[in-house]
Amino acid sequence: MAKKNVLIIGAGGVAQVVAHKVAQQAAEFGDLHIANRTKSKADAIVTSLRDKGHKMPFASHALDAMDSAAVAALIEKLDVKIVINVGTAFINMTVLEGCIRAGAAYIDTAIHEDPAKICETPPWYANYEWKRRDDVAKAGITAILGAGFDPGVVNAYARFAEDEYFDKIDSIDIVDINAGSHGRYFATNFDPEINFREFTGTVYAWQGGKWTENKMFEIGREWDLPVVGKQKAYLSGHDEVHSLSARYKDSDVRFWMGFGDHYINVFTVLQNLGLLSEQPVKTAEGQEVVPLKVVKAVLPDPASLAPNYTGKTCIGDLVKGRGPDGKEGEVFIYNVADHKDAFNEVGSQGISYTAGVPPVAAAVLIARGIWDVKKMANVEDLPARPFLELLGEMGLPTRVIDATGDHPI
Amino acid sequence: MAKKNVLIIGAGGVAQVVAHKVAQQAAEFGDLHIANRTKSKADAIVTSLRDKGHKMPFASHALDAMDSAAVAALIEKLDVKIVINVGTAFINMTVLEGCIRAGAAYIDTAIHEDPAKICETPPWYANYEWKRRDDVAKAGITAILGAGFDPGVVNAYARFAEDEYFDKIDSIDIVDINAGSHGRYFATNFDPEINFREFTGTVYAWQGGKWTENKMFEIGREWDLPVVGKQKAYLSGHDEVHSLSARYKDSDVRFWMGFGDHYINVFTVLQNLGLLSEQPVKTAEGQEVVPLKVVKAVLPDPASLAPNYTGKTCIGDLVKGRGPDGKEGEVFIYNVADHKDAFNEVGSQGISYTAGVPPVAAAVLIARGIWDVKKMANVEDLPARPFLELLGEMGLPTRVIDATGDHPI
């Protein structure tokens, strides 16, 4: 059987990682294509692949991914079988539509967003993606939603706890700590527009069988984690809560994001002034401007942080539950990644690395048929162990802290 | 002799005060005209004059004050003899040019600025206004520069110290404290664009017979002042230093502005992120935007603060010098204004009030012939006592703390 051609949509920091990881797994795939609104950015990734000595066939393309007909046409023209969408979160639905029309597998790493809306009604997946479930099944394609690190690997961690530890899960607390330092006054680790949008709305958590609502930075808790040590993290809204709450509806599902005081201060100032708003304002000269887009324009390009980024990230799931005997237990399933190692390997910082490796692992599992389920699935709906073991081979090893100590899976 | 018609250019918070104060002094003037780019704002001031029961003839006009021919034409059409320019600082030179062409007296309250430049070479007056000295003298018109509170009244305080206290002045320290509260998260007391531009450049002071340079918030000092008590103020760049240093070239001339920690934090965040820049940036969508104009657009309109503004301002000059016997002495010459009183009287907050009353006093002195000097002058070049006494009658009394205690002048 012919190897499947892969199309990466997007050419930011995560796309850079995805491209390098696909190239490292060249034996699994056919040709590699990279498409982006601004073609020169896709060209730059192709150049960086060549610089690393990769030799699989790759090419770059200009694509308006908001145009699903254009997406479908490109897929057909290039005979693409797997699309990895790591462009802005605003294009998910048009790219998915293109895959449905052209019969390609679809993988993304973050939930669809409408540029004009922040923090819609939970569960978020039900607002866009899940509405296309029947169409995906009817088209007979595989669509894997949220297959980055978080969402993505952390969903697999929950499934891993379900498969290998507990009969009944009481709570899933996902903790994301970036203990790295980029040396700039202030920067976001990925697209500032998406980054800030995560924190300007209501913080939804799934607790006691229902959605609870808090404000950002309202609930903070100190965590003591492997390698990164004691770190403060805050209850935050995040994609994976909106799918895990469906599968684990009798469990509490919470997401905790680590923030330093400096980040919180800058965020609070910008938020209180109205500079994080996605609603346009009018200047004295009559120009209509979306403040958040201007904040994005003045902040460092997340990709530019990579060369000087040092330190480590720790992201994991603390899962509490009960075994067959009803006895309570807990397990912390986690990964530690290093910013400098990521840059040395693929020219990206650690946050992009952790987000970019998992969708390639998902693509490999589709190519091998293990995850080629011919329907729409979130990561927790798919077998976890093959994914986590492959991630370990690809640079993101999973460890657990359980009753027997701290060890690899 | 016919009473002189007055034209106010601008329709912001200071213009509101100027209009009400001209109306209160109706016996000194002919008709009152208010011209602004957006005529509706001038209309609103006319309405507020009517609401207060003022009956002198007044009218509003649309005017592009960047067009000096249009300024001259309006002056001639309305037979205006005194122009009070309280529009944005970017229009000074075109309005002055209009006055020169049409033969009207000119008064402003702040130095000319080029929108594209921040903090030019000192002394700032030499970059624009003073270049027109000969033309003003040739036209035989009176042009009084910087006749607000600071610059303006504080220049007269220095001259008052020269006239009535010292043979030789060693230092002039101008201190501006706003101990009021507007109840908002953050706001500037006048046009944010001008307000921030004051603090983003080099801090020039005149010390030891030469210009010294510091950064904003680099040098702070606690002051213990009448009514407002102990307050921290920072060495800041300000217009009046750039004219007082010419007349008092053997004295140190410094300006100190009071700032709370919250203001400094917000300012520092915006400054470090690049959001106070007057240089355009390009958004991801390709829109060219000046960040500072967006910050201005999201901040409260300074005029909107007035109804809820409480507390007091204290602005004064600490002047040190030597009498005829060479004996060293010092005097603090100051005014205390109340935000609530200002709102009750003219519908504006205290900062607008202190800035708007002095140019009307200057206009009255021109109308009476006392300050109608037929040349260009900064306030310290003109007799101080008549100005300060008139200001006392108009709502801004001057007090002094000298060897004999704290008393009115």
Q: Is residue B407 part of a domain?
A: no
Residue A186 with chain B: CB contacts under 8 Å: 269, 272-273
**What is residue B55's predicted lDDT score, i.e. its pLDDT?**
86
The answer to whether residue A140 sits within a structural domain is: yes
> Under an 8 A CB cutoff, do B185 and A273 touch?
yes
Mean pLDDT throughout A130-144?
98
Query: If residue B277 lies in a helix (H) or strand (E), which one and from where to where?
Result: none
**Cβ neighbours, 10 Å, residue B246:** 16
In this structure, is residue A200 part of a structural domain? yes
Compare CB distances from A289 to B193, B284, B289 and report the shortest one's residue: B289
Q: How far is B99 from chain A (nearest CA, A)?
A: 26
Question: Could you tell me if B86 and B178 lie in one domain?
Answer: no
B255 shares its domain with B371: no
**For residues B253 and B236, what is the distance between their CA atoms, to the nearest angstrom?**
11
pLDDT confidence band for A98 (50 / 70 / 90): very high
Residue A74's domain comprises 4-149+351-394
Read off the pLDDT band of A55 (50, 70, 90).
confident
Do residue B297 and residue A281 have CB atoms under 8 angstroms apart? yes
Is A313 domain-assigned? yes
- Residue-level pLDDT at B148: 97
CATH number of the domain bearing residue A238: 3.30.360.10
Closest-CA residue in chain A for B279? Answer: A298
- Nearest chain A residue to B282 by CA: give it: A297
Q: Is residue A306 a contact partner of residue A347, using CB atoms and an 8 Å limit?
A: yes
Residue in chain B lying closest to A269 (CA): B266
User: B273 and A265: CB-CB below 8 Å?
Assistant: no
Task: Give A-chain residues touching B265 at CB under 8 angstroms.
Answer: 265, 269
Nearest CA in chain A to B274: A298
Nearest Cβ partner for A283 among B185, B273, B296: B296
pLDDT band at residue A116 using 50, 70 and 90 as cut-offs: confident
Distance CA A190, CA A200 (A): 16
End-to-end CA distance of chain B: 33
CA-based nearest distance A275→chain B, Å:
7
- Regarding whether A384 and A314 lie in a shared domain, the answer is no
Token representation of residue B294: 């967006």
| Closest CA relative to residue B241, chosen from B155, B352, B142 | B155
CB contact under 8 A, A186 and B298: no
Q: Please tell me whether residues A195 and A300 are part of one structural domain.
A: yes
Residues B113-165 pLDDT 10s: 887 776 689 999 999 999 999 999 999 999 999 999 999 999 999 999 999 99
Is A324 a residue whose pLDDT tops 90? no
Predicted confidence at residue A1, as pLDDT, reads: 65
In percent, how much of chain A has pLDDT > 70? 99
Does pLDDT of A59 surpass 80? Answer: yes
Q: Which of B287, B290, B294 sits opposite A291 (nearest CB)?
A: B294
Residues of B in contact with A273 (CB under 8 A): 185-186, 266, 270, 295, 298-299
Given a cut of 70, the residues of chain B with pLDDT beneath it are 1, 118-119
**Inter-chain contact A282–B297, Cβ cutoff 8 Å?**
yes
Co-location of A76 and A160 in the same domain = no
Q: Do B284 and A296 touch (CB under 8 A)?
A: yes
Say how many CB pairs under 8 Å bridge A and B.
83
The angle at the Cα of B102, spanning B97 to B104, to the nearest 5 degrees, equals 85
pLDDT score, position A105: 98
Judgement on whether residues B82 and B216 belong to the same structural domain of the protein = no
Tell me which of A169-173, A379-383, B293-297, B307-311 is least confident.
Answer: B307-311
H or E element that contains B196: helix B192-200
- pLDDT, residue A119, reads 62
- For residue B277, what is the nearest residue in chain A, using CA coordinates? A298
Which residues in chain A are contacts of B185 at CB distance < 8 A?
A: 272-273
Q: Looking at the partner chain, which of B274, B285, B298 has a beta carbon nearest the beta carbon of A298?
A: B274
Q: How far apart are CA A141 and CA A178, in angstroms?
A: 35
**Chain A residues within 8 Å of chain B (Cβ atoms):** 185-186, 193, 265-266, 269-270, 272-275, 277, 281-285, 287, 289-291, 293-299
Residue B30 resides in a domain: yes
User: Using CA atoms, how far apart are residues A35 and A406, in angstroms rounded to an integer?
Assistant: 42
Task: Supply the pLDDT for residue A296.
Answer: 95
Comparing alpha-carbon positions, the chain A residue that sits nearest to B300 is: A273
Residue B400 lies in a domain: no
Between the two ends of chain A, the Cα-to-Cα distance in Å is 33
Which among B186, B265, B297 has CB closest to A283? B297
Distance CA A320, CA B69 (A): 78
Facing B283 at nearest CB: one of A274, A285, A293 = A293
Chain A residue with the nearest C-alpha to that of B297: A283
A286: nearest CA partner in chain B: B297
Angle, alpha carbons A185-A189-A194 (nearest 5°): 115
pLDDT at position A302 over 90: no
Binary contact (A284, B296; C-beta < 8 A): yes
Same domain, B285 and B213: yes
Count up the domains in chain B and report the number.
2
The answer on A168 and A88 residing in a single domain is: no
Angle between helices B13-24 and B350-367 (to 10 degrees): 40
User: How close B284 comes to chain A (CA, Å)?
Assistant: 7
Write down the pLDDT at residue A201.
81
What is the structure's pLDDT at A110?
94
Q: Which of A348, A369, A385 is the last residue of a domain?
A: A348
Q: Is A404 domain-assigned?
A: no
* Share of chain B residues as helix, strand and coil, in percent rounded to the nearest 5: 40, 30, 30
Q: For residue B388, give how far its alpha carbon lies from the nearest alpha carbon of chain A (Å).
A: 36
Please name the helix (run of DSSP H) or strand (run of DSSP E) that holds residue A77, with its range, or none. Answer: helix A68-78
Tokens of A314: 């720790």
CATH number, domain at B86? Answer: 3.40.50.720
Q: Do residues A273 and A382 both lie within one domain? A: no
β-strand partners of A374: none
By C-alpha distance, the chain B residue nearest A291 is B294
In chain B, the residue whose alpha carbon lies closest to the alpha carbon of A267 is B269
Q: Are residues B71 and B115 in the same domain?
A: yes
Which ipTM was obtained for this model?
0.73
Compute the nearest-CA separation of A188 from chain B (Å): 12
- Distance set, CA A24 to CA A19, A106, A336, A345, B216 (Å): 9, 20, 21, 11, 52
User: Is B405 part of any domain?
Assistant: no
Instruction: Answer whether B273 sits within 8 Å of A299, measured CB to CB.
Output: yes
A20 with A66, same domain: the answer is yes
Mutate to test the interface with A, among B64, B275, B278, B290 (most CBs of A within 10 A): B275
**Mean pLDDT for chain A overall:** 94
A chain contacts of residue B275, beta-carbon cutoff 8 Å: 275, 294-295, 298
Evaluate if residue A104 carries a pLDDT over 90.
yes
Contacting residues of B for A282, CB less than 8 Å apart: 297
One domain for residues A30 and A120: yes
Give B-chain residues touching A285 at CB under 8 angstroms: 293
Which residues from A are below 8 Å from B284, CB to CB? 193, 293, 296-297
- Of the residues A313, A330, A348, the one at which a domain ends: A348
The pLDDT score that the predictor gives to residue B64 is 97
- Give the pair of three-digit tokens for residue A298: 């003045």
Q: How far is CA A248 from CA A63, A329, B11, in A?
A: 38, 17, 61
| CA nearest neighbour of B68 among B38, B34, B91, B45 | B91
- Judging contacts by C-beta atoms under 8 Å, the chain B residues touching residue A287 are 289, 293
